[in-house]
A and B are shown apart, each in its own frame.
Chain A
Amino acid sequence: NAGVTQTPKFQVLKTGQSMTLQCAQDMNHEYMSWYRQDPGMGLRLIHYSVGAGITDQGEVPNGYNVSRSTTEDFPLRLLSAAPSQTSVYFCASSERGPTDTQYFGPGTRLTVL
């Protein structure tokens, strides 16, 4: 039981490049979400999913895309990276919703030059 895994742990991109941050959980959780963490800003929700095939926007969705084709996986796509997307990204999952105990992945530190 690995919990929530994220890859890669570190990534450097050039402005305009695209990439996908991977997130997987092996706990059969329905609810998954992506946050970004910036200094002095706390964690802000990017996108979330309440189950396979269902996604919705959080508070800072612009520039990001998600899909949920399986219960286990919830990838986050950066369509055209910008320096403003330099951040630490966390994926989280919980059994049904955000009031359940949320399990966070170890994070991905992304730098956009």
Chain B
Amino acid sequence: AQTVTQSQPEMSVQEAETVTLSCTYDTSESDYYLFWYKQPPSRQMILVIRQEAYKQQNATENRFSVNFQKAAKSFSLKISDSQLGDAAMYFCAYRTYTGTASKLTFGTGTRLQVTL
């Protein structure tokens, strides 16, 4: 079974600085998807970024980028120029590539605080 591990329960970053959130996963599959979701205090889950395992290029979305290390099974999220609105829980998630009869497996989350 696939597992997703986020080893940092809490992180803190100053406004305008850069922070990296860690995620590792365990799988025997070669094709899969990885995601980062943001959950602000409103509780709504918001997709931040996604990465297909077959793509070597790291995904980027504005200030958000990932460092995908397939051999190491590592998928970290870098937030540049942090803003107060980035404060939230961040969840890493894994999904197998083929078929619809599959699911997202989530990590336990990292709470990010952004300070002035």
In the complex, whether A99 has a CB less than 8 A from a CB of chain B is yes
A106 touches B44 (CB 8 A): yes
> How near does chain B come to A96, taking the closest CB pair, in angstroms?
7
B109 touches A42 (CB 8 A): yes
Chain B residues within 8 Å of chain A by Cβ, number: 22
Compute how far the CA of A58 lies from the CA of B104 in the bound complex, rounded to whole angstroms: 10
Residues of A close to B50: CB separation below 8 A: 99, 101
Compute how far the CA of A35 lies from the CA of B45 in the bound complex, rounded to whole angstroms: 11
Residues of A close to B106: CB separation below 8 A: 35, 42-44
A98 touches B91 (CB 8 A): no
Chain A residues within 8 Å of chain B by Cβ, number: 27
Contacts from B to A (Cβ < 8 Å): 4, 33, 42-47, 50, 91, 93, 95, 97, 100-104, 106-109
- Return the 8 tightest CB-CB contacts between A and B, nearest first: A104-B45, A42-B106, A43-B106, A97-B100, A107-B43, A45-B103, A42-B108, A50-B100
Contacts from A to B (Cβ < 8 Å): 31, 33, 35, 40-45, 48, 50, 56, 58-59, 88, 90, 92, 96-99, 101-102, 104-107
